[in-house]
Amino acid sequence: DADVTQTPRNRITKTGKRIMLECSQTKGHDRMYWYRQDPGLGLRLIYYSFDVKDINKGEISDGYSVSRQAQAKFSLSLESAIPNQTALYFCATSDFPGGATDTQYFGPGTRLTVL
C-alpha cells in the first residue's frame, strides 16, 4: 500500500463549486504539504503544516484553504473554484527534524480540472 494517498485522483468541476482534496499518510511524518504543478512549471507550495496545530501559507495560498484533521490527514479546499486552478495537485510529507535535509515524499497527485 502507498505511504501517501490522495483522493480523488481525478476531478472535473465547474467554476464556483467548492472542492476538497484529501491526503492521508501512513509514514508517521509530522510535516505535510500541498503543492500545485502547472504544465511546463515545477511545483509551487500552497500550504504546509508542521503539526496538527500549525498551518502556514506557502507561495501561492490565495484561493485555497487547508485543514489538518490529524497527524495523518491534511486536506486542501478550493472554496470557489476558478479555471486557473486547473492543475495537478500533490500532497507531500516529511519527517522531523526537517530543515535543509528535509526530504519530502509525494502522493500520486490529483488532477483537477475546473471548467
Contact residues toward another protein (CB under 8 A) are 33, 40-45, 48, 50, 56, 58-59, 88, 90, 92, 99-109, 111
- What does the H/E/C string look like for the chain? CCCEEEECCEEEECCCCCEEEEEEECCCCCEEEEEEECCCCCEEEEEEEEECCEEEECCCCCCCEEEEEECCEEEEEECCCCHHHCEEEEEEEECCCCHHHCCCEECCCEEEEEC
Tell the smallest beta-carbon distance from residue 47 to another protein (Å). Answer: 10
Pick 26 or 56: Cβ nearer another protein: 56
Pick 63 or 109: Cβ nearer another protein: 109
